[in-house]
Structure formats: structure tokens, C-alpha cells
Chain A
Amino acid sequence: MKDPFVLFWAALIFASIAWYAFLVFYLGIKAGLEIRELTQTLEQRK
């Protein structure tokens, strides 16, 4: 049987790769839109 620690680290490493790949796209779009909103808010304050 596989060492449970090895399984634990394998799960975390592969989950991290998948999570980072997802975040690059997801936050890339969401945060990009928020930058636009932020600059519009700041522009109105001027």
C-alpha cells in the first residue's frame, strides 16, 4: 500500500497545479473587470 503521506502530498501538488491554472483564467477576467471599475470610480472622484 502507498504511504499515506505520499498520497497526501500528491493530492495537494496536483490540486495546486489545477487550482493555479483555474485562478489565472478566473481571476484574470474578474479582477480585470474590477480594475476597470476601480479606475472609473477614481475618475469620477476627480
Chain B
Amino acid sequence: MTLSLVDWLIVLFYLAVCLAAGLWMRRYVRGVEDFAVAGRAVHVNLGITSLAATELGLVTVMYTAQLGYEKGFAGAIIGVLMALGMFLVGKTGFVIEPLRNAGVMTIPELFEKRFSKKVRWLAGLFVALGGLLNMGIFLRLGGDFLVYATGMPPHYLEWVMTILLGLVLLYTAFGGMLSVLVTDYIQFLVVGTGLVVTSVLVITHIGWENLINGLNTAWTASGGQSAHPFNPFHASSFGAGYLIWQFIFQIACATTWQTQISRLLSAKDAKTGRQMYSRAAFYFVGRFALPGLWGAAAFVYFTQRGGLPANLNSLTAMPTFLSTLLPMGLLGLVVAAMIAAEMSTVSGYMLTWETVIYNDLVMPCLKKPLSPKGQMLLTRGLLLGIAVFLLFYGLWYQLPGNAWDYLAVTGNIYIASVFTLLISALYWPRATTTGAFAALILGAIGPLTFLVVNAVVDKSHQIAPEIAGVSSFGLAFAGMLIGSLLTPAKPIQK
């Protein structure tokens, strides 16, 4: 084991504080609206901490470090595009302002008002399916970090994941969004401290000049075969085509990603929601740049020592590297920070997808409304079901490529179609229900084909993620356009 007794005590203390705070908020939950959107009473700074903590998970640290390991600093360009997307959406209020003003709890709920109940249900299905598949790898990647950073035996991974998930489930099921907000706040502080301390230590340990020279030397030695470590537009790195797709994807993400939108919908008004977006934007640069720095440093560290050991890969190199440089006490703090990141993300995501399943899949099918007690029982039962799914899916699914591509493509199962529907619902009076159905179905075809084909064919025949991504946006918009123009529009209800 790499962790000392002091490190373990820090981790256990953190877990106890988090659990106590989460359970304490249970007393304020009166009904489903408090549970799902915190009674719509969230102010801007708390909203930012929750948004930031939820969107910076241990899985984020792992895949951004993997990008840093494989593509150098250029890997962080995704964070720059994400920040740009968030800032533009926050400043203009594009989609998010009318969405918040609509007073809905989820995006599909808006579609019932604008299109039909069936559109709401189908959109809810895609949102939940894309979200759950996306979240499916969180536990595995988080567990990988813990195994390699703490030096615990790999067969403990499943048990550690199960216990962590159990803790998160406990406070999320009792306190809902209110517990998530308070635990996110604690987790934001711990994660922020961990990221700053670790980044300073990484730079001090490896040396800035050595890091730049090491990345340059490796790139030159590969004869341009490996990815350019600094220029993301270079053909060996992402390339311009991939980056254009990513920019569109990030704008769509900022307006449709239900975990972000749930913070917007919890905001006390649209102006607060817009401020959350624009003020939190730069946080998303660091979300990629800092773990990316650790990944790039791990690359240089192992390259200068004869290459990556056989038992490691681009995902596990970073935690192994960190375990060699962090001193006693600080390692405990960093592990606590990473557990914090995992917990805030898992709790926020579980609650979000549960709300969609409850609000858009189950409730529209019920003939008689449930009693308040029945509603709470159902929401908690759904949370338990999601936790069980995560445990089993996380254990057996093997990633076909890099983690970022998997996350982008699974998210895209609904992002392209729901983005199309949102824009049409809010800004195009001619949009019809037939167009909405066509957009939903066609938008999901690209990413689902990517997932199925890439799981069964060899690497040389796999579909590029940007092809799957761009085609889903193109198909969704074409479906909406053609479907709407071929059918008569009905008057919009005010």
C-alpha cells in the first residue's frame, strides 16, 4: 500500500463529513420539487460550485490526463472550446434563458408543451439511455485511479467502488438535490485544493523546462508519428475537422446536457442561471488543462525512464506517477480530493438521470397521480436501480478506444437530437411533432451505430468519432426540417 495511516485518516475524515452533511439536508425535503431542483431557491455562487463539482469528476481527471498523456498540452483544447461554449451561451442566454423561463424540471417536459406527450417520452428515453451509458464507465475509471494512486490490490477495486457508490446513494436518496448541493460545495473545496496543490507539485517535481523539452523531444523522435504536443490543429493531433465538430458539440452540450441544465433549472431565475454559465466558464479550461498537465508530466516521467512499464497504459500512467511524487499526508489529501470528485459527479448524475426517468418516462404513463409518499418512494427506488446498473455495467464493459471519445459519443445519443428539438421548439414556429420524431430517431442512429460497430470490428475498420458525431447532428437537423415541412404546423400554445 502507498497510503500511510495519516493518509487513510484524512480520507476517512473527509468521507464522514460528506456523509453527515448530505444526510443533514434530508430534513428540508418536503416533496419532489425540493428533491429534484432544490425548491428552485439556488443562488449564483452555490450554483457555480455545484455545477463545477458535478462536471469535474474523477472520471474527468482520468480522461483529461489520458488526453494529456497521448496528445500533450494540445489535449486541453477541448476544455478551451467547452469554456468558450459555456461563456457564449451564458452571455447570450441562447436556449437557456427561454428554457429556465418555461418553468420545467427537465428538457423533455418542454417538448410535451411544444410538441406532444409521445415526443416527451421518446426524448426522455434517449436522454436517460445516453446519460446512463455515458455514466457507465465512471466507476471503473475512478476505481482505476484509486488502485494505482493508493497501491491497493486490484481485486479490492470492486469493493471500493461498491462502498463509495453505497455512500453516495445513501445521501442522494435521502436528500436529493439539497444534499447534492451541500456535498458538492464541500467537494468543490477539497477538489480545488487538491488540483492546485498537485499541479504545483507536478511542475516543481518534473521542472517546467524539462517538461516542455521532454514533450518536444518525444515528438521529434517519433518522426511526427505521435500527436503534436502543443498544436491541436496539426494533422497528427486533433486536426481542424475534429475541433469544428467539438465546438458545435460543446455549444450543444452547454444547452442540453441535463446535469448542467438541472443546475440552471434549480436557479432562482434566468439571470442567475446565465451568470452561473458565464462565470463558471473559465473553470472548464482548468478542468482539462490541469489533469492534462499531470498526464503530460507522467508521459515525460516514464519516457525519460525507458518507457511505460508493461502493466500500465495511458489511463493508469498518471495515478502511478502521482503516487511516486506526493508525500505522506498530501497523498491522502489528493486521494480524498479525487474521491470527492467521484462522489459529486456520481451523485449529481444519478439524481439527474433519475429525475428524467421519473418525470418523463414514468409519470406520463401513470393514469392516477401518486401520493407524495409514493412519489418519494418511487424516486428513491429509481436511484437504487441506477446504482445497481452502474455497478454491473461498470464492471463488465471494456472501453473500445479512449475514454473521451466514448463519453462524447454516448452523450451524443441524445445531444444532437435534443439540441435540434430545443432550438426548433424555442425558435422555429414551423417545427412539428413529425419533425421532432424524425430528429430524435435520426439523431440517435450515428452514435448507436458507432457503439455497436466499433465494439465488433477491428481497429482499422472502426468509425471515427467525429464522423459519428457530425452525422448525428446532420441527420437530426435534416429530420426536423424535412419532417416539419412535410406536415402542417399546429398553433403554438402560450
- A residues contacting B by CB (< 8 A) are 3, 5-6, 9-10, 12-13, 15-17, 19-21, 23-24, 27-28, 30-32, 34-35, 37-39, 41-43, 45-46
Q: A24-B192, A39-B28, A41-B41 are in contact. List 5 more A-B contacts (CB 8 A).
A: A13-B290, A13-B293, A19-B286, A39-B25, A42-B178
CA distance A42 to B41 in the complex (A): 9
Which residues of B lie under 8 Å from residue A6 when comparing CB positions? 73, 212, 230
Chain B 243-279 per-residue mask, 1 if CB under 8 angstroms from chain A, else 0: 0000000000000000000000000000000000000
B45–A30 CB distance below 8 A: yes
- Choose among A6, A27, A32, A46 the residue with the greatest number of B CB atoms under 10 Å from its CB: A27
Name the CB-closest residue of B to A24: B192
- B residues contacting A by CB (< 8 A) are 25, 28, 30, 34, 38-39, 41-43, 45-46, 48-49, 52, 73-74, 76, 80, 178, 181-182, 185, 188-189, 192-193, 195-196, 199-200, 208, 212, 230-231, 282-283, 285-286, 289-290, 293
Which residues of A lie under 8 Å from residue B192 when comparing CB positions? 20-21, 23-24
CA distance A31 to B181 in the complex (A): 10
With A19-B283, A20-B192, A41-B41 given, is the CB distance from A13 to B73 under 8 Å? yes
CA distance A27 to B186 in the complex (A): 11
CA distance A30 to B4 in the complex (A): 34
Which residues of B lie under 8 Å from residue A21 when comparing CB positions? 192, 196
A35–B181 CB distance below 8 A: yes
CA distance A45 to B192 in the complex (A): 33
Q: List 9 A-B contacts (CB under 8 A).
A: A5-B73, A9-B289, A13-B293, A15-B285, A16-B199, A30-B45, A42-B28, A42-B41, A45-B30
Which residues of A lie under 8 Å from residue B285 when comparing CB positions? 12, 15-16
Tell me how far the C-beta of B317 lies from the nearest C-beta in chain A, rounded to whole angstroms: 19
Tell me how far the C-beta of B137 lies from the nearest C-beta in chain A, rounded to whole angstroms: 25
B282–A27 CB distance below 8 A: no
Tell me how far the C-beta of B412 lies from the nearest C-beta in chain A, rounded to whole angstroms: 26
Name the CB-closest residue of B to A2: B212
A9–B76 CB distance below 8 A: yes
Which residues of B lie under 8 Å from residue A27 when comparing CB positions? 45, 48-49, 188
> Do most interface residues of chain A lie in helix, strand or loop, or is the interface mixed?
helix
Tell me how far the C-beta of B50 lies from the nearest C-beta in chain A, rounded to whole angstroms: 8
Which residues of A lie under 8 Å from residue B48 when comparing CB positions? 27, 31
Tell me how far the C-beta of A38 lies from the nearest C-beta in chain B, rounded to whole angstroms: 6
Name the CB-closest residue of A to B200: A17
CA distance A43 to B76 in the complex (A): 43
Which residues of A lie under 8 Å from residue B212 when comparing CB positions? 6
Name the CB-closest residue of B to A39: B28
Tell me how far the C-beta of A27 lies from the nearest C-beta in chain B, rounded to whole angstroms: 5
CA distance A29 to B188 in the complex (A): 12
- Choose among B28, B42, B76, B181 the residue with the greatest number of A CB atoms under 10 Å from its CB: B28
CA distance A43 to B178 in the complex (A): 13
A37–B43 CB distance below 8 A: yes
A3–B230 CB distance below 8 A: yes
Which residues of A lie under 8 Å from residue B182 when comparing CB positions? 35
With A13-B73, A16-B286, A46-B30 given, is the CB distance from A24 to B293 under 8 Å? no
B185–A17 CB distance below 8 A: no
Which residues of B lie under 8 Å from residue A5 when comparing CB positions? 73-74, 230-231
A17–B196 CB distance below 8 A: yes
CA distance A27 to B50 in the complex (A): 11
Which residues of A lie under 8 Å from residue B193 when comparing CB positions? 24
Which residues of B lie under 8 Å from residue A37 when comparing CB positions? 43
